[in-house]
Structure 1
Amino acid sequence: MAAPNIPDAVSDDLNYEEWAPTAKATLTEEGLWDIVENGVSPDPSKIPELSATIQAEQLSRWRDLVVKDTKAIQILQSSLTDSAFRKTISASSAKEVWDLLEKGNEEAKLRRLENKFEQLSMGERESVDSYFDRVTEIVEKLRRLKIEKSDYEVIKKVLATLSGSYDGVAPVLEELMDVHKMTFKSLVEFFHRYDSITEEDVHLMLKANRLKWEAQNKNNHNQNQEDRISTSAKWSGPKQFRRNKGVCFECGEKGHKARDCNGKNQQPAATEARKRGECVVRDRTGAVFGETMWDERGLSLRLQGSNFSYKQRYCEIMYVGKEATNKRSYVEGIETEGSVT
């Protein structure tokens, strides 16, 4: 028999979990379940290897099986909803109808579980344990259907769907722990502890965590400074290294003398920016990027404290708008290469 064109999933309006046991019981009572379970072989008279030797009795038994199969199809399809029935019309045997519905149920069940996971939300009066139990149940059912949700996916969903009474938990958790490396079990433990600590304890933990981060950041910063000084001394030589220790009284920067200071010849916009403690950025022609440059070139510039070092000063240069790549900028008269996006 030709295989039917099986659709991806049976209709959602068929409650397969209730329908299947009832249908199987009916088929068993009628003596038809073995036909559904094992199927019916093709017409032996149409198979060249069998047609020459088949006995009339054998052909008669095969025809009896076909009659039973037809009856089983009728029983199955008559118990279906209209939408599910339409999806089984192309099936040519009772076994194909059953297998189609079983496969479709698995896919429909998966789709329903995925929707339940996406729509998860903690009730305003629901306890944390109750909500976590609901989440765990859905995740376990998905896992049994070979759909794995990572701990991070589950944690992200939980933190985004907590009730209003837990609005402050996510920021605290992200401050204290690396959410990407957490397990769902550790999240549950965190909530059990969170409910038992005071607001003052939370503030103390946050403060301790920030101090730890600032200390680490300071150590990294000092190490980077030492590396840069060491590299400068290595390549510039002792004489140049000694000169770098001086401070220009024109601009307050290290690494050059007043007579060599570009600050003397800066345009007014650059001078004012320098007085405000901002980094001054020039294009390759020497023009200062300011409001006029924004208007003319369609670029906006944002300067803020960050990672790049220009004569012991730090600034981050970010161009937003017109795309340009591998442009050359001058910061406080110091030429730097940068990728501008």
Structure 2
Amino acid sequence: MKSVSHLASLVPAAALALSLGTGAAQSKEFRLGLITPPPHIWTVAATAFGDELKSASGGKHTVTVFPSQQLGNEAQMMQQLQTGALDMAFLTIAEVSNRVPDFGAFYAPYLADDVAHAGRILRSDVAKDLLSGLPQKAGVIGIGYSMGGLRQIVSRDPVTSAADLAGKKLRITPFEPIKDFYNALGAASTPMPLPAVYDALANGQVDAIDMDAELIWALKYYEHADTILISNHMMFPMVGLVSARVWQSLSEEDRAMIGKLMARHLDGAIDTYVQKEGDWLLSVEGTGRTIVEADAAFFADAIGKWEAIWTEKAPVLKDLRKVAEETR
């Protein structure tokens, strides 16, 4: 596994590949956007990163964190990063995969056995090497990965087989890998921003949602559920990004400091999920809702259809599957 310091050393090289100059040292008030609410692990990590950067820089650099889509949805924040209007963001890999399809390989159904295994995959050299192409392909610098645990399904109606999801309006994060998975199930994929999900599930605007254990519990999505499918069917990675335009204005010293500190807090959030995921699932299982445990066999037909699409679209998938096997 590459060390955090080695990763930080690669980031300036990636930025220089854009033929952008090295900026002089100067004070900077960074703005960091993300979609998660203030108590969420990603937001907490972003805030902690900002606090440590301020301390490490002797107050020269500060970070203002904008949670809960205050700066727009992820597609809008990605555009802002590309133009330099936004300095930094913690975004789901979903948005990155819309621009760089190889990142869609992370969403291969049952690539990871559990949340700890997902962490090992994200810490692999294969995963980290994908970040080096982001300056050229997306106009951003990829500092490192974190994640949001594994995905589960919350349904207003009973679910005893994958066929029960056919025809259901199912809330997803709007990106192709997960859309292809639910389309293969025959569900009506319904993209929806996170702040709208609770009311949509409550009033029947959607029949089911694809969600992580943390938010199922913390935001009480289970209150409007008949069945909670404990499926762990996909990992849900996140990536810490810096605008390439902003990056080129920084000194080498500041690039190294920001890269090291952000990578540390991203990686620490992975550890938090490994520690807490089991407790969240136990809490969800104790809500009195019907709990159905599902494995790969439950979704067998859909998985086959997904693989047929994404093996071709994301050639790195074969390498990630090798990593997954080696890290079991």
One fold, TM greater than 0.5?
Answer: no
Specify which structure has the higher proportion of helix. Answer: 1
Per the normalisation by structure 2, the TM-score is: 0.17
Per the normalisation by structure 1, the TM-score is: 0.17
Task: Please say which structure displays the higher CA radius of gyration.
Answer: 1
